[in-house]
């Protein structure tokens, strides 16, 4: 993945070049997007919502969150659906976009495990509980959520380098939760899995895969767990186990700035 700053700079340049589209007043409900072109990321809950509840809508499916914003500033989509932390990062990076907090409740995020891996799930739950009680989880979230340049922040180096590896899959393309630059995966998720692996005494093996492949990969037992900014839903919980939440996220409807 390219530098986050370079990507946002490129997106901003596209918008400045006159690619922004004129928009209506802020839309906060999916029902009011019926005549719009909407960009959503593949494999997300948003893709499932539109497929199930709004099948007649003009939805463009894109592979990453960055592609949502690329579609908007290039004029291929009028609106995009994302989560609050990612949209805030884009705003902080200087991208000229409008955001509206959708009228939807907060959705918890959790780590993902195979249905048979209840022991690892319990270990991770204990780990998150300890971080919460010590205040460290809030500190970690604040560090990653308050920066406009997550690629510049350090992740603790693993202390355990020998033994059976903890096989983790992640998207590597959803800052500030996870981002892969030069083959090195960073972000809030990376910090959490590094601390967790050290706690249980196992080295980490990271594999970056498309977001839409993560749930099937874990369900089929091809990896031990995933930390990848994944929302906890009833439909996903039929296939995999979730940890207790380590973050809550809100749905944001994104559009380009109005042309004056």
Stretch 195-203: mean pLDDT: 97
Tens digit of each residue's pLDDT (9 = 90 or more) over 7-51: 444 444 444 333 333 344 799 999 999 999 999 999 999 999 999
Stretch 219-231: mean pLDDT: 97
3-state helix, strand, coil in the chain (%, to 5): 40, 20, 40
pTM over 0.85: yes
What residue segments make up the domains of the chain, in order of their start? 4-106+251-256, 111-244
User: Residue 141 pLDDT > 80, yes or no?
Assistant: yes
Stretch 148-169: mean pLDDT: 93
Q: Which CATH superfamily is domain 4-106+251-256 in?
A: Periplasmic binding protein-like II (3.40.190.10)
Judge whether 48 and 77 are in contact, CB under 8 Å. no
Beta strands in the chain (DSSP E): 37-41, 58-62, 79-83, 97-101, 107-109, 112-113, 166-170, 173-174, 178-181, 184-186, 204-208, 225-226, 241-242, 247-249, 251-256
Judge whether 245 and 103 are in contact, CB under 8 Å. no
Backbone phi, psi, residue 193, to 5°: -70, -30
Q: What would the CATH number be for the domain defined by 111-244?
A: 3.40.190.10
Stretch 233-249: mean pLDDT: 97
Residue 258: pLDDT band with limits 50, 70, 90: low
Structure tokens at 72: 């908007």
Stretch 174-184: mean pLDDT: 92
The SS3 assignment for 255 reads strand
Judge whether 132 and 243 are in contact, CB under 8 Å. no
Domains 4-106+251-256 and 111-244 share a fold: yes
């Amino acid at each position: 993945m390219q530098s986050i700053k370079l990507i946002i700079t490129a997106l901003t340049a596209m918008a400045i070049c006159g690619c922004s589209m004129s928009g209506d007043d802020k839309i906060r409900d999916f029902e009011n997007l019926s005549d719009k072109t909407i960009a959503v990321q593949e494999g997300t809950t948003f893709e499932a919502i539109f497929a199930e509840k709004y099948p007649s809508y003009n939805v463009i499916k894109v592979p990453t969150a960055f592609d949502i914003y690329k579609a908007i500033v290039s004029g291929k989509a009028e609106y995009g659906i994302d989560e609050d932390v990612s949209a805030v990062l884009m705003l902080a990076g200087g991208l000229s976009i409008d955001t509206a907090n959708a009228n939807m409740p907060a959705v918890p995020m959790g780590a993902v495990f195979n249905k048979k891996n209840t022991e690892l799930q319990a270990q991770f739950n204990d780990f998150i509980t300890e971080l919460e009680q010590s205040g460290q989880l809030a500190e970690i979230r604040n560090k990653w959520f308050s920066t406009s340049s997550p690629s510049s922040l350090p992740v603790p180096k693993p202390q355990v380098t020998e033994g059976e590896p903890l096989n983790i899959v992640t998207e590597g393309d959803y800052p500030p939760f996870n981002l892969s630059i030069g083959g090195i995966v960073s972000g809030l998720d990376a910090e959490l899995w590094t601390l967790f692996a050290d706690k249980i005494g196992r080295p980490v093996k990271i594999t970056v895969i498309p977001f839409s492949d993560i749930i099937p990969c874990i369900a089929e037992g091809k990896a031990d767990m995933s930390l990848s900014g994944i929302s906890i839903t009833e439909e996903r919980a039929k296939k995999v186990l979730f940890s207790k939440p380590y973050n809550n996220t809100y749905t944001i409807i994104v559009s380009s700035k109005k042309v004056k």
